[in-house]
Structure 1
Amino acid sequence: MTGSAAHPPRGGPTPTALPTDMLTHVELTWVKKKIEHWIRFGREAHEQILDRRRRVVSFRPGAIFAFVRWASNDFGTIVSRIDIVRAVGAGEPCQTLPFVRPGGDILLRLDGWPKVERVLKVIDGIEALDIDPAEIAPEHWRHIHNRLTAGHEPRAYSRTQHSAWLLRRETGK
């Protein structure tokens, strides 16, 4: 049965991005030991709770966030993935990504638990420097993606590299 304005479809609210909506929306689901989608880092601009297992978090254009997806069935893990994404502005080109509307600029995309775990450790290392992972140079996420995809160890992010990135960002170069 389809819904109308007077009678919305059953099953609860469906999040939609309005044409005037400038935010990037990420649908998160948590069904313990079955489907676990979460944000590892990023500054959320808005949160909408859909029900006890689902919510939608939203990010402003330019915000960088890490989206982790894990799922299992009776036989074990079937999906283990991490995406580090830059939220895009209206009309900006973007790549599609499941559960992310309208999509984003994917800086890192890895799957398989060993690689996901490695990225989570890299994030922990950045936080150990007292640096917000959402604030580091976007090209460093691409570097990590490329190195891990090739089976190599990525270079560690440093305070010096971060200072250079902040100066470059400040001057617009």
Structure 2
Amino acid sequence: MDHEPSPTDAPGPSATEDSDVHRDSSGATRAVSNAECRAKESKRQSKRLLLNAGKRGQRAAQNKAAHSSGAPLGCTEQALTRVEFTPHDRPFAMWLRFGKPKITLVPAPGHPAECYAPGQVFGLARSVSHHDGDAQSTFDVLEAGQPEDDVTAQPCVRPGAHILLSAKGWRTVSRVFSLIDAIEALGIDPCCLAPAFWTEIQSHLPHHRTHVPDAGKHAQPSAQDARRRS
């Protein structure tokens, strides 16, 4: 006489099936773990590359200063590059993101000027807001030149300077600011990086095309880097 199999009689998963499921689960776990390890290693490599680049830049800058004929302490005021901060309308802002001037002059009240010796590097940011809500942000890394150098004219920079990096537009400027933040977080002074470091970064920035409005977003000096603003 036939009878229905009880639940206890129903065939369960075989040992082979259990092994396959366990193997699939272990494989997925290993794949996730390997992906996380690769991501962590990539982050570590990026940090090492940035740190090594910074150290090379610091050594190059120190060697350049040691062998430079134009010693910063002995150069005359005529040999200095002046960054002049003069009062402007409120929509305009200019400040140094980084820089260590040799001297600071105040030729007239409210008109400070920071002076850099040949070979010194500094970062100058500008932001202009228009009445229609459009904004233009720029950031330049500049190197002070020798008196006989053919330098590039820059607003408020006398007589001009060598342009190592030029970022235009808030999106590009913010990327450069983030890089500088990362450099400083590693304990590296951006002023000590070699000019070649900045020209290498420039090669990775998008080429400047016709101005596209920043849609109201523009660079603003933080509490740390707003050393001068007019």
**TM-score, normalising length: structure 2:** 0.53
Aligned length: 132
Identify the match of residue 188 of structure 2 among 128, 131, 146: 131
Q: Which has the higher strand share?
A: 1
Q: Secondary structure at the match of 1:147?
A: coil
| Unmatched segments (≥5 aa) in structure 1 | 1-18, 152-173
Instruction: Point out which structure has higher relative CO (alpha carbons under 8 A, 6+ apart).
Output: 2
Pairing 1:14-163 to 2, within 5 Å after superposition: 21-29=78-86, 33-49=90-106, 50-52=108-110, 54-150=111-207
Using a 3 Å threshold, how does the CA distance of structure 1 residues 30 and 127 change in structure 2: closer, same or farther?
farther
Three-state SS of the structure 1 residue aligned to 2:150 is coil
Offset of 1:73 from its aligned partner?
Answer: 2.5
TM-aligned CA deviation for residue 106 of structure 1:
0.5
**Aligned equivalents of 1:143 and 1:75: distance in 2?**
36
1:80 and 1:30, CA in 2 relative to 1: closer, same or farther beyond 3 A?
A: farther
Give the letter aligned to residue 143 of structure 2.
R
1:110-168 CA-to-partner distances (Å, cap 9, x unmatched) read 111111111111111110110100111211211111211259xxxxxxxxxxxxxxxxx
Structure 2 SS opposite 1:141: helix
Give the ranges of 4+ consecutive aligned residues of structure 1 lying more than 3 Å apart after TM superposition.
29-33, 49-52
Q: Which structure would you say has the larger Rg?
A: 2
Structure 2: which 5+ runs fail to align?
Answer: 1-75, 209-230
| TM-score, length-scaled by structure 1 | 0.69
DSSP 3-state at the match of 2:84 = strand
Alpha-carbon offset, residue 28 of structure 1: 2.2
Residues 79-108 of structure 1 show CA distances to partners (whole Å, capped at 9, x for unaligned) of 210110010111122111111111111100
| C-alpha deviation, 1:74, in angstroms | 2.2
Identity of aligned residues (%): 34
RMSD: 2.2
Bigger mean CA offset, 41-50 vs 106-115: 41-50
**How far apart are the structure 2 equivalents of 1:126 and 1:20?**
31
Q: Amino acid of the residue matched to residue 103 of structure 1? A: G
1:5 corresponds in structure 2 to none
